[in-house]
Chain A
Amino acid sequence: MKIKWLTRTAWVFLALLAVLSLIAPWLPIADYRAMDPDARLVAPQWTTAPMLGTDAQGRDMLARLLWGARISLFVGLFGTIVAMLVGVPYGAFAGYRGGRWDRTLMRLADALESIPMVVFVLFLMSILQEYRAELAFVGFGRLQLFLVAIGLLFWLPTARVARAEALRIRQLPYVMAARSAGMRGWPLLRSHILPNMMPALRVMLLLTLPRVILMEAFLSFLGLGVEPPAVSWGGLASDGLAAMNPLVGSAWLMLLPSGVLALTLLALQRVGASAKN
């Protein structure tokens, strides 16, 4: 009973956040980029004008948080989709074909797992900086690079789940029946196997989302995430950490973005766990 209530709250929170970040450009809030040298480091007023205070450049924190939500949630969602677009076909193919294909593909996945992927992806991002002009020409900014990098990082667990599911479904009677009726290959995968993988994949989506959002925060913190003036929660928290010192009490600069981030991740975890059961 208590758990159900928690899950419902989590859904409401996530929905509210999504809607607010979607309509952020039309909300009556300050411009998130506008600096105000006269109002630096104003503590949260809660009821009047800078409701959540301002940062070291006098920018409105409420606006920055909402615009940060746009980037963080967008990257989370699309990064997860990229990971699934890579992982699901890979795993489903391995599980569906079985035998030698399965062994080879899964051994490759094992080998990839023993490589520090985060480091490798950081390395890749740093190298790709050199090709910014070319990438920008084909419409690839930092954000798109990011999504590809995230896809590279998170497709492996998805592939494993997809494989396990494909192996299980392959042996179910209706798939056997379809096979004996002569159905093979892509049509079989599409009409019988993939649709029945959906519940497991939905859980995987919900479980991957928080990890991707966390990874975005991590990369932004290291200075390899989204570029200013764009803001994300990770970048905000890292700004807050940089502004923190014992003389000026400005803890809200770090606590607000990380609080929202933690709440979102908790809500996603809760929702994911409830979908799993």
Chain B
Amino acid sequence: MSKRFAKRLLSLLISILLVHAVAFMMVRSTRGGPFDEERSLSPQVRVALEQRYGLDDPLAVQYLRAVGGLLRGDFGPSLRYRDTQVSELLADALPISLALGGGALLLALLIGIPAGLLSASKRHPLGAGIAATCSTLLLAIPNFVIAGVVVALFSFRLGWLPPAGFGQLRHLLLPWLCLALPLAAQIALLVRARTTETLQGAAVRSAVAQGLAPAVLLKRYVLRPSLTPVLAFLGPATAALLTGSLVIEQVFALPGLGTFFVQAALARDYTLALGVTVVYTALLGSCTLIADLLMAKLDPRVEALS
């Protein structure tokens, strides 16, 4: 277990380094820098600027310095926000994005698992149809549309929740909902498929024959096998959350990683974009790792296979 964990951790570190290296090379390969904007700079000013940001050193030196910075969590100064370190911006934005993503994931699980279980049980034929339709529908609608509809309904029509902003818990409720709904749909579909299979299996049939109480049956024989695909889905779910948060943070004007990343990508703030990319890679990698470990814990066969 620990050996496998160490191996995975190592490969995670390597992939972070690789992403960083490729992104670094891409940034350095652009000859149009952040300094040639509308008006041209005098040569002296340009040289001074390049010296300040260390752009006049050989590429290898720059790269090694960047790796050193990476190890210390330092990505250098932002090219757009004057006198601000990228790491400061990241430190401000990361908690917001984590709260957004974590809350959305939790909400998705809370909606998705019961919905999947319910729609798999034969006692609710109507419920099954509704759940299936809702899931397909949610998967076919882009999340910014969901956001628009939700804002129009809850903020403009009903006036219950603020349409944008940040600071209080109620600012996060709508973003959570918008991010969670498509994920909940996928989780529900996964749980439904696996539970249908489990319910038809021999284990459940003999348990029923023994006269086990439904609650015990659910807990001991249905829930556990039904949750493995959900755990396996946690990695892709994190990726989907990252992608979704790019949009949702924009719509609700949340100052999280996604907002910074999109702004940086549009405004050519490459050091910031690079920093966010590395943080995203680390986030996704660690979530996948945790999901794998949990899965091995829940289903010993996984361990045996790999």
**Total B residues in contact with A, Cβ cutoff 8 Å:** 50
If the complex has contacts A123-B265, A241-B251, A262-B145, are A115 and B281 also in contact, measured as CB distance less than 8 A?
yes
Task: Give the segment of A54-62, A86-94, A142-150, A213-221 that binds chain B.
Answer: A213-221
Task: Please report the total number of A residues contacting B with Cβ < 8 Å.
Answer: 41
Q: Which of A223, A251, A254, A269 contacts B136 (CB 8 A)?
A: A269
- Specify which chain B residues have a CB less than 8 angstroms from the CB of A130 in the assembled complex: 30-32, 268
Pair B243/A118 contact, Cβ less than 8 Å: yes
Find residues 262-304 in chain B having any chain A CB closer than 8 Å to their own CB: 262, 264-266, 268, 270, 273-274, 276-277, 280-281, 283-285, 288
Is A111 interfacial (CB-CB < 8 Å)?
A: yes
A189 beta carbon closer than 8 Å to chain B? no
Q: Check: A222 CB closer than 8 A to any chain B CB.
A: yes
Chain A CB within 8 A of B41 CB: no
Main secondary structure of the interface of A (DSSP, over half): helix
CA of A173 to CA of B184, assembled, Å: 44
Q: A115-B15, A241-B148 are in contact. Are A218 and B142 (CB under 8 A)?
A: yes
Q: How far, in whole Å, are A237 and B242 apart by their CA atoms in the complex?
A: 21
CB distance B270 to A119 under 8 Å?
no
Q: Which residues of A contact B27 (CB under 8 A)?
A: 127
Interface residues in B15-40 (C-beta closer than 8 Å to A): 15, 19, 23, 26-27, 29-32
A122 vs B262: C-alpha distance when bound (angstroms): 8
Q: How far is the CA of A269 from the CA of B136 in the complex (A)?
A: 8
Q: State the A residues within 8 Å of B (CB).
A: 111, 114-120, 122-127, 129-131, 210, 214, 217-218, 221-224, 234, 237-238, 240-241, 244-246, 251, 254, 258, 261-262, 265-266, 269
For the complex with contacts A118-B239, A237-B142, 18 further pairs of A-B residues with Cβ separation under 8 Å are A111-B11, A120-B277, A122-B265, A123-B265, A124-B26, A126-B270, A127-B27, A222-B246, A238-B144, A241-B147, A241-B148, A244-B148, A244-B151, A244-B152, A246-B155, A254-B145, A261-B145, A266-B137
